[in-house]
């Protein structure tokens, strides 16, 4: 006869084995869901059906190169100014500055590969600093611009900086708005995109309009400026499969140690323009740029977030007009 104590001792390992099998099954299901979401599932490109009122008013243009069919807008006359679309969005990111700067300059706003409405041709495009700076040069060559003032916000500020460091003879003035380019970690959200499978799935899940609204509102102080039309303009190209793929690859492959090392020898006159309430690139990074750049002006904008050209357009436009006028 088995005593009560012995029976309990016999049952415990069996319960433990059942519990381990149950946990292992749940983990296997979750892993399968993660892998399918990351590599097997594609969200619908709902933004393809959107017809942009902004682009209808300013007139989209395209220019072909071996790497991409670049989407851009242009207006004005005078010395050239090229504005690189902020990372993750399109030419809409400079809508207010485009009109204002074109009074004195020939202004181009361009979507680089993986952004906006530019169509990638080179399927081996690497989405690293070499690739992005090469793309800037290809676009300038394609539209016949040899030397230009150059500006970027967030990722595109880092790409503009890298291009100016590699081709100082082609950049007359450089404006960095809440820019990447320092060898410092990003927010937890952005750092998570570096994790295989997690980054793929997280990027795909972030393309819903409500999610884009939450992300955009988190970047802006003056949330009333995020109208339904601006949200639609922001959201539509984020649904494109090539742009989704570009987002997690750029986060993994951009090496900002290179641009930070080059700051003390960056000879291009530079305007560092930063939103004090930036939740993505904290304002202390503006001061680090200022400490390392030898020829800079630094302006901190109160009541502005990570996309100051949309959040505080009047102040940004005035600073850019003054700076580009020399």
Task: State pLDDT tens for residues 250-305.
Answer: 999 999 999 999 999 999 999 999 999 999 999 999 999 999 999 999 999 999 99
Task: State pLDDT tens for residues 120-150.
Answer: 999 999 999 999 999 999 999 999 999 999 9
What is the pLDDT, as a whole number, of residue 33? 77
Model confidence at 109, in pLDDT bands (50, 70, 90)? very high
User: Which architecture, in CATH terms, is 50-325?
Assistant: 3-Layer(aba) Sandwich (3.40)
Model confidence at 30, in pLDDT bands (50, 70, 90)? confident
Phi, psi of 85 (to 5 degrees): -55, 135
What is the pLDDT, as a whole number, of residue 299? 98
CA 21 to chain centre: 43
What is the pLDDT, as a whole number, of residue 5? 61
What is the pLDDT, as a whole number, of residue 1? 45
Average of per-residue pLDDT values in the chain: 94
pLDDT at 25 over 80: no
Q: How far is CA 132 from CA 94, 142, 255, 319, in A?
A: 19, 15, 12, 26
Q: Which residue has the tokens 């010395």?
A: 79
Task: State pLDDT tens for residues 212-247.
Answer: 999 999 999 999 999 999 999 999 999 999 999 999
Domain spans, the chain: 1-41, 50-325
In this structure, are residues 115 and 145 in contact, taking their beta carbons and an 8 Å threshold? no
Two structure tokens written together for 59: 């007139």
Model confidence at 29, in pLDDT bands (50, 70, 90)? confident
Mean pLDDT on 36-52: 91
pLDDT at 27 over 80: no
What is the pLDDT, as a whole number, of residue 164? 98
What pTM does this model have?
A: 0.93
**Which segments of the chain does DSSP mark as H helices, in order?**
4-35, 53-58, 95-101, 129-142, 155-166, 188-192, 198-205, 209-219, 228-235, 241-253, 256-262, 284-292, 308-311, 313-325
Lowest-confidence segment of 55-69, 179-193, 307-321 by average pLDDT: 179-193
């Amino acid at each position: 006869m088995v005593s009560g104590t012995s029976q309990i001792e016999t049952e415990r390992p069996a319960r433990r084995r059942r519990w381990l099998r149950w946990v292992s099954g749940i983990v296997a299901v979750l892993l399968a869901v993660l892998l399918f979401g990351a590599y097997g599932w594609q969200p619908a490109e709902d933004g393809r059906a959107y017809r942009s009122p902004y682009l209808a008013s300013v007139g989209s243009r395209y220019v072909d190169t071996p790497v991409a069919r670049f989407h851009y807008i242009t207006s004005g006359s005078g010395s050239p100014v090229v504005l690189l679309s902020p990372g993750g969005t399109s030419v809409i990111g400079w809508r207010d500055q485009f009109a204002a700067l074109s009074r004195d300059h020939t202004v181009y706003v361009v979507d680089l590969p993986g952004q906006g409405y530019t169509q990638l041709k080179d399927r081996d495009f690497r989405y690293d600093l070499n690739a992005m700076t090469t793309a800037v040069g290809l676009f300038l060559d394609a539209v016949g611009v040899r030397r230009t003032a150059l500006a970027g916000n967030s990722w595109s500020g880092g790409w503009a900086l890298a291009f100016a460091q590699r081709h100082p003879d082609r950049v007359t003035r450089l404006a960095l708005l809440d820019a990447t380019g320092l060898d410092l970690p990003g927010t937890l959200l952005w750092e998570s995109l570096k994790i295989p499978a997690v980054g793929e799935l997280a990027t795909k899940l972030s393309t819903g309009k409500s999610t884009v609204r939450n992300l955009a509102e988190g970047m802006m102080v003056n949330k009333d400026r995020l109208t339904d039309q601006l949200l639609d303009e922001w959201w539509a190209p984020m649904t494109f499969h090539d742009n989704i793929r570009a987002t997690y690859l750029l986060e993994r492959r951009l090496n900002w140690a290179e641009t930070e090392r080059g700051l003390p020898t960056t000879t291009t006159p530079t305007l560092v323009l930063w939103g004090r309430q930036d939740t993505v690139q904290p304002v202390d990074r503006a001061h680090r740029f200022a400490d390392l750049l030898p020829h800079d002006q630094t302006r901190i904008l109160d009541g502005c977030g990570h996309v100051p050209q949309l959040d505080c357009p009047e102040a940004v436009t005035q600073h850019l007009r003054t700076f580009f006028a020399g």
